[in-house]
Amino acid sequence: MIIVHDFHLLADGARASLLKTIEEPDGETVMIMLSDDVPDTMITIVSRCVRIDFQPITDELIIKQLVDDGVDQKKATAVARVAAGDLERARVLINDPSLASRTELFANVPSRLNGTTSRAIEIAAELLSAVESSLASYESKQEAELAELEERVKFLGERGSGRKILTDKHKRELRRYKTDELRSGLRMLTLVYSEALKKSTEATAHHQTDSYVRAVKKIRDASVALRLNVNEKLLFENLLMSLPSINN
């Protein structure tokens, strides 16, 4: 069995080189391509595969599992809200002491924007720094897994590429975790602008409500872009420079 992770990130040339293998399997090998989405460039390959769509785990199921793990209901609910349907991520976030402050940091962005480039760049740097710091909880988990592998090697005398395989796996996981954290922050931004739109009244200027609608679309577009190999710093700076301020 061959599992190809993050298939959506492969360059067109790499996908093309796999096409013949997928079209003419040897009858014994099963290939599983894991992809966050299916862009038009993957249509040919998809037509040769059996497609299985997996939905995120519901917040209710995550809360139940966390409570079963011994987490109190209130904390489990808060974590499930930002875990985006990922139980493994939820279990990491449980031990993240900065989760609440990071969530608040993203929620306060619209009220801090003032239309200047300097402020947008400043806030973008704060957001990226906060997310980078959040990786510590995940790195601790990975260090424990690596230590466990080293102990097993010493005890059983195992040899081979076990360490490299695990290290490569950790790199993919860390990248995915960081992307998930950034997208979680963007979901919080979407929520803030959506709430502002709901609270709009007839007295609210038409151009202001329109700016909230455009903001939600821009944030969602940025979230989609994060699935690709983009420059996160430039992405967030450009996004924040385009978003309106919300005066509470």
**What's residue 156's pLDDT?**
62
**What's residue 155's pLDDT?**
67
Please, which residues bridge with residue 32 across strands?
Answer: 3
**What's residue 96's pLDDT?**
83
Domain positions in the chain are 2-47, 57-94, 97-242
Query: How is 16-77 classified by DSSP, letter by letter?
Result: HHHHHHHHS--SS--EEE--S---GGGHHHHHTS-----PPPPHHHHHHHHHHTT--HHHHH
**What's residue 218's pLDDT?**
97
Query: Residue 163, Cβ neighbours under 10 Å: how many?
Result: 13
Residue numbers of the chain with a pLDDT score lower than 70: 9, 155-162, 201-206, 248
Closest CA to 151 of 135, 136, 141, 162: 162
Q: Give tens-digit pLDDT for 98-134.
A: 888 998 999 999 999 999 999 999 999 999 999 998 8
- The pTM for the full model equals 0.68
